[in-house]
Structure 1
Amino acid sequence: MHWSTLIPILLAAPSSALIRFQCAQLVVERLDPLVTPGEIPSPHVHQIVGGNSFNATMAPEKDMPAESTCTTCQFSEDFSNYWTAILYFKARNGTYTRVPQRANGGFEGSTGGGMTVYYMTDPLYDSTPKSKVKAFQPGFRMFVGDINARTKDEAAKFRQLTYTCMSTAGSREHETVAFPQKKCEYGIMTSLRFPTCWDGVNLDSPDHMAHMSYPETGTFESAGPCPASHPVRTSQVMFEVIWDTSKFNNPEDWPENGEQPFVWSFGDKSGYANHGDYVFGWKDDSLQKILDTSCYATSCGGKQQSIADMNKCAGLKKTVDEDIGVNTWLTALPGMHQAESSKEDQSKNQKRERVEFKA
């Protein structure tokens, strides 16, 4: 998908809504109120952006806009929360350190690098709007990806989650569904494209995915129709995160067998388990008003704030106090030593049960 060549076309003659804006990092820690609500700490580290009402529980009935006093996103009425796992570099000696992030071009200076968020009513390259989309409703939330995927076949359902090996800040070509297997001079961009068809009834589902669907045929980019089970067309939410892997391009630090050295905070080194979380929190009908216009990026109206004001909301006080590998080296990924201990305890219990059974 040639994003860099398509953007100028839309700038020249915008005729559908494509919102593109930056969000600074709100906090980085082990909390996940969508998948493991109330669990402190959650199994692995996330980076979170958006409204400062983010917490370990975030009950669906809570009015997020009313709960938040500020947001790290450029649209000041967007109190949604967006989050992804954190990327780590694993050195040849087996220790880990967190990979820093870069902001997208034009958004430099946002705290922690953060992420760029898109809401698209039509495919990026389509200059003729084909449909009216419905904004998400209060209490809506969704998840995309498979945290357990470790092969291409297992990740096939989520081909909309990709990586780009960036040679420059403008690199947008040759997307893959696994980690790049070579060094990337500028960094690695992850792009996460959420489903665009809603069942029209449920604001969530047990797996946080069943109430949403990708198009019945093709993809959002090919303007495929929604299935009958999910007839309501929504905008496509997309995250772009740039990981500054340029600091780790010394081949002497990579594994001796030449394998790529990056790993997600939950232990996946294949890249197939990339995933993202979204909890809606736009104030009133502010998102619907923007989606009903013909605009591009930050020319879409709405109330907006400067990067400096976004950054004022960053730095939410952490709930979990631990070293997550920021400019330090860890012997294990945060939470992973606990996971391994649990596995060992489970194995011991299973052995004990087998012994007792035999007796």
Structure 2
Amino acid sequence: MYARTLATFALVAPASALIRFGCSQLVVERLDPLVTPGLNPSPHLHQIIGGNAFNVTMNPSSGDIAERATCTTCQFSEDLSNYWTAVLFFRARNGSYHRVPQVPNIGFEGQKGGMTVYYMQDGLANYAQTSKVTAFKTGFRMLIGEASYRTKEQANRFRQITYTCLQTLGTRYPETMHLPKEPCPAGIMANVRFPTCWDGKNLDSPDHMSHMSYPELGTFENGGPCPESHPVRVPQLMYETIWDTSMFNDKELWPEDGSQPFVWSMDDSTGYGSHGDYMFGWKDDSLQRAMDSPCYVNCPTLKTQSIAEMNKCTLPSVVDEKIDGWLDTLPGSPTGV
């Protein structure tokens, strides 16, 4: 796992492509068109970024989401993909819940919540970024993580899903697979890294994972070869979400036994159930063009929009329920619907 700040990483210019960009919040609601398409509402709350073609179904037969979307919350206006994760809540000593706000990363000040997204030729540990990659295709989608996992043994399957307890917004290590157990001065960063090897045939699979694989050596950071079953190397996709937990850091608010009080929207206080969803929606050949160019963080081959334009792209929630303020139950819990 990369154990350096981005500032240190930035001192070495890569040979080719690593793009890093912000995406503002599109909508926060209980929809999941990948895992539970057509189900309104879905079992737990998600925070979604990207193009405004996002909806309850998003059937591949409906066409290219890059053609259906009219705006995107992402910095690169040719990226109309959708990216989403679960939502973090604070559980107070009295048992009530409050949604934790999201804040932008360094360099994206003014962005409304959302996430930071990376597309890389190699993991962050490889400064050179030299691997040739094939961009995802129209209709491609994938999932990493399992919402039902609650033990470290289960989560070992997804060692690429981690947390960073932020001492400052520039902190990037150490990383843990469980939610931090002590107050984090600048918040909690949730890190999600997707597999980098594709079977070259299927745009999706029944579990939304089997068409993808990590390298043969099983890690994202060693740049190992792809297995024969999944021979096509694709960009390393990564999300960073910063949850501003600072307003809840007074231990007098925490459970009396001192246990950490943060819980994912699927009622997971371990952190092992963290997961990320992705639906590809880059226009035309824009992502492949970027991956074949000497892009670094920003990319002159891509069209860039202002943070103000990113913030304008929003969707109204189609699920009528309270998600803000103090809640007696998590959205979607048996007694909270």
Amino acid at match of 1:88: F
User: Which structure has more helix as a fraction of its residues?
Assistant: 1
**What secondary structure sits across from 1:260 in the alignment?**
coil
Does 2:290 align with 1:290? Answer: yes
Report the count of equivalent residues.
334
**What secondary structure sits across from 1:97 in the alignment?**
strand
C-alpha change, 1:213 and 1:185, in structure 2 (3 Å) is same
TM-score (norm 1): 0.91
Structure 2: distance between partners of 1:184 and 1:131 = 36
Structure 1: distance between partners of 2:152 and 2:202 = 30
Structure 2: distance between partners of 1:332 and 1:26 = 24
C-alpha change, 1:171 and 1:207, in structure 2 (3 Å) is same
Aligned equivalent of 1:353: none
1:66-105 correspondence runs (5 A): 66-105=67-106
Q: Decide whether the 8 Å contact of 1:64 with 1:281 is kept in 2.
A: yes
Aligned equivalent of 1:336: 333
Q: Decide whether the 8 Å contact of 2:145 with 2:275 is kept in 1.
A: yes
1:219-298 correspondence runs (5 A): 219-298=219-298
1:105-120 correspondence runs (5 A): 105-111=106-112, 113-120=113-120
Q: What's the CA shift string for 1:124-179, capped at 9, x where partnerless?
A: 24243442100000000000001111111010010100000011111111100000
Structure 1: distance between partners of 2:153 and 2:310 = 40
Does 2:300 align with 1:317? Answer: no
Aligned equivalent of 1:132: 132
Amino acid at match of 1:337: P
Structure 2: distance between partners of 1:185 and 1:126 = 29
Q: What's the CA shift string for 1:111-136, capped at 9, x where partnerless?
A: 2x100000000232424344210000
Does 2:5 align with 1:8? Answer: no
Q: Decide whether the 8 Å contact of 1:23 with 1:116 is kept in 2.
A: yes
TM-score (norm 2): 0.97
Q: What's the CA shift string for 1:34-79, capped at 9, x where partnerless?
A: 0000000000110000000100000112211110000000000000
Q: Decide whether the 8 Å contact of 2:41 with 2:319 is kept in 1.
A: yes
Amino acid at match of 1:68: A
Amino acid at match of 1:23: C
Q: Decide whether the 8 Å contact of 1:16 with 1:127 is kept in 2.
A: no
**What secondary structure sits across from 1:155 in the alignment?**
helix
Structure 2: distance between partners of 1:21 and 1:129 = 17
Unaligned runs of 5+ in 1: 342-359
Larger radius of gyration: 1
**What secondary structure sits across from 1:299 in the alignment?**
coil
Q: Decide whether the 8 Å contact of 1:6 with 1:124 is kept in 2.
A: no
Report how far residue 218 of structure 1 moved.
4.2
C-alpha change, 1:151 and 1:130, in structure 2 (3 Å) is same
Structure 1: distance between partners of 2:132 and 2:108 = 29
Identity of aligned residues (%): 62
Aligned equivalent of 1:346: none
